Chain A
Amino acid sequence: MFDVNLIIKSLPMLLQASVWTVIYSLSSVAIGFCIGTLVCAAGLSSSRLGRGFSAFYVSFFRGVPLLVQLLISYYCLPLIGVNVPSSVAAVGTLALCTGAYLAEILRGGFLGIPPGLIEAARMVGLGRARILTRIEVPLAVRLTLPSLVNETTMMVKASSLISVVGVLELTRLAQNIATSTFQPLEIYLTAGAIYFVINGAISLIGRFAESRFRLETAR
């Protein structure tokens, strides 16, 4: 029968594990955002090398399943002498992967910025890096906020994949409890509900940010 008691008993542990889910997914989005910005800037630069690198990067990380990427980094990093905790390798892989998607999202934002705004920045003596961080990124983020929020919720869900490389987070813990209690239904339903709540919160924050940072006349 459906065991409500089990849910109540395991809820504190599941919530604790979901904190790790949030930490892993948000930190990979944060790192991925920096990667994505650089990959995107390289892709839009006048340097042929930069454009080539950017195109290769995006096609690789979008083209290979995330699960396979995680397995590659899990098994191959030790072989080439890189010994980092599996959680670090997993977050790094998530970040590299979401970086490719974020680069594509931001590209639309960058292209939507009127070139005159960049010219104005050049005419008051701002250098390339300052223009990127003070003008282009803030505007690109405002122009692409809904897609960025969407990608963040995707990453919260994708973080469940890192359970396969032995990193403890919500899905992994749910698996552990399910196999030891033989009551998977209750546990996975609870885990699913927690994911749902986390993403609901992210969407709400996104909505708030959209109304807060709306560019009324982004020409």
Chain B
Amino acid sequence: MTATPDTGSRPIIDVRGVWKRFGTAEVLKGIDLAIRKSEVTCIIGPSGSGKSTLLRCIAFLEEYSEGEIYIEGELLGFSLENGKRRRVSDAEVARVRRNVGFVFQQFNLWPHMTALENVAMPLKLARGIAREDAAKRARRMLEKVGLGHRAEAYPSQLSGGQQQRVGIARALAMEPHIMLFDEPTSALDPELVGEVLQVMRDLAAEGMTMAVVTHEMGFAAQVADTVVFIDHGVIAASGSPQQVFRKDENPRLRQFLQNYFERNVFWQGAEGAGAP
């Protein structure tokens, strides 16, 4: 589905031995994960398994407790001096993650701005792009996600699927090298999921590097280069969709997939077609 992964080069995202603790609760327990240019990585797993936390750590929306995360070769959020970690300034965090785009489950559009302003404002203020150029680029991005005609609408006037597409346009306008999607369709009515997934498919086909936390197994199976199954804070299985969905015999993975398929079978005749 996607451009051939450039497996020779340094990964865009390199997660090494990352732990995350909230108080005494250990949410991530030694995660290693590399995401290479133009690869689509889908992260699946039961709720509470830590998959969203991992994505939020990669964006440094959460500080990871231990380990290292490199973004295009630069350590994110900390500096290492004689092996001791020190938190760097917010400005330095912003610099290292400037090429990371993030799409939220709850869209998080700013409700007091139109769709166009949501996309153009960061261009003006964070990138210093002149007003007219920012507006032009924002309009182009909205057209790209099929919302050129809704540029002047406020978020409250848009459907969930449209809001999420604006959210994607807002992230894309910053010309990121990697896009992180945190359950981008989980807050949507079922009939609106498709339009968002289509935008994501198009992005993947263009060669965008993507990490997607999702419950959409169909999307993962068709679009992902790598599927990662997280369970109880560890990567319990990973590999190609073929490998993870068909071959891997980790019992927790099989149970998770079994539950998923049982939930989604609605036609007895579909038996065998749907089951793994």
Contact = CB atoms under 8 A, between A and B. Distances in A.
B106 A116 contact: yes
Contacts of B154: 216
Interface string A189-219: 0000000000000000000000001011111
Contact of A116 (B100, B104, B125, B157): B104
Nearest to A214: B156
Contacts of A218: 111
Contacts of A62: none
B106 A126 contact: no
A192 B90 CA distance: 53
B91 interface: yes
B258 interface: no
A104 to B, nearest CB: 22
A68 to B, nearest CB: 39
A140 to B, nearest CB: 11
Contacts, number: 73
B25 interface: no
B184 interface: no
Contact of A134 (B59, B125, B171): B125
Contact of A125 (B109, B126, B157): B126
Contacts of B167: 120
A127 B104 contact: no
Nearest to B118: A120
B234 interface: no
B125 to A, nearest CB: 5
A121 B109 CA distance: 9
A124 B108 contact: no
B44 interface: no
Contacts of B106: 114, 116, 219
Contacts of A125: 94, 98, 122, 126-127, 174
A138 interface: yes
A206 to B, nearest CB: 17
B110 interface: yes
B6 to A, nearest CB: 25
Interface string A108-134: 000000101101111111111010001
Interface residues of A, number: 25
> What is the size category of the interface that chain B forms with chain A?
20 to 34
A138 B110 CA distance: 10
A51 interface: no
A95 interface: no
B61 A122 contact: yes
Contacts of A165: none
Interface in B103-141: 104, 106, 108-112, 121-122, 125-127
Given A135-B110, A139-B111, A215-B111, A120 B156 contact: no
A119 B174 contact: no
B126 A126 contact: yes
B102 interface: yes
B170 interface: yes
B112 A138 contact: yes
B155 interface: yes
Contacts of B111: 117, 139, 215-219
A116 B167 CA distance: 12
A216 B163 CA distance: 14
B101 interface: yes
Contacts of B59: 123
Interface in B167-190: 167, 170-171, 174
B155 A117 contact: no
Most buried by B among A117, A124, A127, A217: A124
Given A123-B100, A216-B157, A219-B111, 7 more contacts: A123-B101, A125-B94, A128-B90, A130-B125, A130-B126, A135-B110, A217-B111
5 contacts: A116-B108, A119-B61, A122-B94, A123-B171, A138-B112
Interface of B: 59, 61, 90-91, 94, 97-98, 100-102, 104, 106, 108-112, 121-122, 125-127, 154-157, 167, 170-171, 174
